[in-house]
Amino acid sequence: MTCSFDLRHYREILDSARAGGYRFAHFGEGPENGDVFLRHDVDLSLDAALRMGELEMEIGATATYFLMTESVFYNLASREGAEAIARLRALGHRVGLHAVYPIARLDERFDPVVAWHNPDPEYMSVPLDGPINVMEERYFSPQTYRSDSNQRWRSGCPHEELRAGGFPWLQLLVHPEIWVYEGATMGQTMRAMLEAERERRLQQLAEDRIDLS
């Protein structure tokens, strides 16, 4: 098994979790032994989130998708944004807020759970008044947390440890863009994403009655 950042290996990671006896849990429950909290911070692409969400549904996994209301890359208030939320929910996933500090304004689109975008250490783990902060003490310890940030596992890809049942429980942060678009480095992956984005934008321009002749 090679630990590449693509959907094939993502599926293997989830299969490994299954094989290790884990179940997919949601913030607000647990953590209990055997829980895996699949967390997706959607920084760049709703399309990537939807593709990952479809794959998870196929194999019976559920996750929490953290979506931004202040992204420069996508507009959650657009029709496309509203449809993405509806589709993720239809696939059985939860939707939380990926907030930019210090504003965490939850509305009816979100479950009461917040993940800060690029948090600084001073406020990263501070509990919030009401919603769950996914990095608060209850859900975060270095031993029970893995993240793929910038296409690097700081403590290694978790598939082996999952398969062996090595974590008591785990919060697994996976950014969909990194897995849906392929590249050997984050730079390559981002360029692949931009290529796909170009096609999507051309289509949107045509739908917006822009003359592309």
Residues that bind Zn ion (CB under 5 A): 3, 41, 43, 117, 157, 159
Residue 138 structure tokens: 């209850």
Of residues 3 and 164, the one with the C-beta less far from Zn ion: 3
Of residues 51 and 117, the one with the C-beta less far from Zn ion: 117
Least distance CB 83 / Zn ion (angstroms): 21
Burial profile 197-213: b = 16 or more Cβ within 10 angstroms, e = fewer = eeeeeeeeeeeeeeeee
Least distance CB 104 / Zn ion (angstroms): 13
Of residues 30 and 197, the one with the C-beta less far from Zn ion: 197
Q: What is the DSSP string of 170-182?
A: EEEE--HHHHHS-
Of residues 184 and 210, the one with the C-beta less far from Zn ion: 184
Q: What gap in Å lies between CA 205 and CA 18, rounded to an integer?
A: 43
Task: Let me know the angle formed at the C-alpha of 77 by 198 and 125, rounded to the nearest 5 degrees.
Answer: 95
Least distance CB 206 / Zn ion (angstroms): 31
Residue 53 structure tokens: 């969400």
The DSSP H or E segment spanning 18 is: helix 7-19
Task: Let me know the angle formed at the C-alpha of 108 by 103 and 110, rounded to the nearest 5 degrees.
Answer: 65
Least distance CB 46 / Zn ion (angstroms): 14
Least distance CB 99 / Zn ion (angstroms): 9
Of residues 71 and 111, the one with the C-beta less far from Zn ion: 71
